[in-house]
Structure 1
Amino acid sequence: MSFKSVNDILEVLEAQAEWQEQPFQRLLKCWAEVVGPVVAAHTLPSSIERDVLRVGTSSAAWAQNLTFERQRLLLKLNEKLSIGLVDIRFSTALWRRPQQAPKEQQTMSLREHPSYVGDQMNVAHDVTSATKDANAAFQDWARTVQARSHGLPLCPLCDCPTPPGELQRWGVCSVCAAKQSFT
């Protein structure tokens, strides 16, 4: 009668547990390692049906790009897991990320909005007073927009006030960037 060490017995038990583990569960454990952290953030394996892996994607662009990469991913997954997958299907319909805490919406009072007309909305329908009110509303709007854009850096091409993010991204305002992309 031969006795086996505890380590030998534990290795056998561990191997049996891996054999009994469902292929999909093994795939979920190593998904981020196989596809990388960036792709894993935009994908979520959904199921394996008839040796076809179904994966939810955060956008149609991700689905399309990963479809082009599916043969490479199949090779990696089959090599790592020995599952025998024959195809991968990507779809935005399968995207189910846990809901995160809702972002607080930035609220703006009615008076802060640039198109706010003011208390002049309950005016008589006299044509001359409507013209005055429209002109006054436009002047208020123009002053509000000018006050908001005061202090913004200027676009180097058109000298218009430009948000700093646009200048960092394109080096010009969004209008000039759009014009440059069409020429």
Structure 2
Amino acid sequence: MSLKPINDILGVLEQQANWQADPLALILKSWAEVVGSVAAHHSRPLSMQRDVLRVATSSAAWAQNLTFSRQTLLLKLNSKLSMSLVDIRFSTAGWHKAPDLSPPPTGFKVQEHPSYLGDSHHHYTVTQPTQQNVNHVFESWAKVTQARSQGLPLCPQCQCPTPSGELLRWGVCALCSVKQSLRQ
């Protein structure tokens, strides 16, 4: 038995295991380039099984529209992959499970949130905590939090200081409101 260098052994293992970049990750990375930005906003690759790509769409109309251009999309995707896809299936199934990556509504103002406490005149400096200043950072955070909650009304349920906007909206603090909705 001859001894081989570790690089030769790793090279053989790599070829045997067919290690390569995850094709789905590669597809996700280049999806907007392949289908266009508008179609990418309404579609999202979900999985690959047996060389068939499954794509979730925001509506049946988008599924049908993308199905018509399936052959062109296959050619573009196969040129980017080391393996070749056999087919692409478009469906609305799985669209609701995917995270919503759209930007938040533009009309939202922080001041309208029930937990908004008003403009704070405290200026914070963010530093990397070290072993010596961790306790100091915690103490200063506790002082700021206590000072901020001094004039706040108390939640009728848990007696915690609560922003008045939360009390006006839900009658209790946000945590108690969530607990109530979970019980129902």
Give the shorter-chain TM-score range.
0.3 to 0.5
Structure of higher CA gyration radius: 1
Indicate the structure with greater helix content. Answer: 1
Q: TM-score, normalised by structure 2?
A: 0.43
